[in-house]
Amino acid sequence: MTHVVSENCILCKYTDCVDVCPVDCFIEGPNMLVIDPDECIDCAVCIPECPANAIFAEEDLPGDQLAFIKINAELARANGWKALTKSKPALPGADEQNGKPGKTQHLQR
């Protein structure tokens, strides 16, 4: 089991999640964070911190978000993606993007 960052993080990237993670398992890409499934200890403290409600326990992921299990695992190892351990400003326009459907097409790897 792990926790998973889902679609609504894309184009928001609020980063509040990283400040509470005790094992620094968040990995940053250009417009999304993912969770390294090999580091996550399933403490769940990040879930309520995300203003986009983008983080789920793997077993609680909505059915249309199941692809993000693989996306998190893959991108946690992707070239150029690095651990982020301190929050920083959200992406410009994050509040406008929060909750918009169909953001997966905008995921930058």
Contacting positions for ligand F3S (CB under 6 A): 5, 9, 12-17, 33, 49-50, 52, 54-55
Nearer to ligand F3S, 1 or 13 (CB): 13
Nearer to ligand F3S, 54 or 71 (CB): 54
Closest CA to 35 of 64, 51, 63, 57: 57
Closest contact distance (angstroms) between CB of 48 and ligand F3S is: 10
Closest contact distance (angstroms) between CB of 69 and ligand F3S is: 15
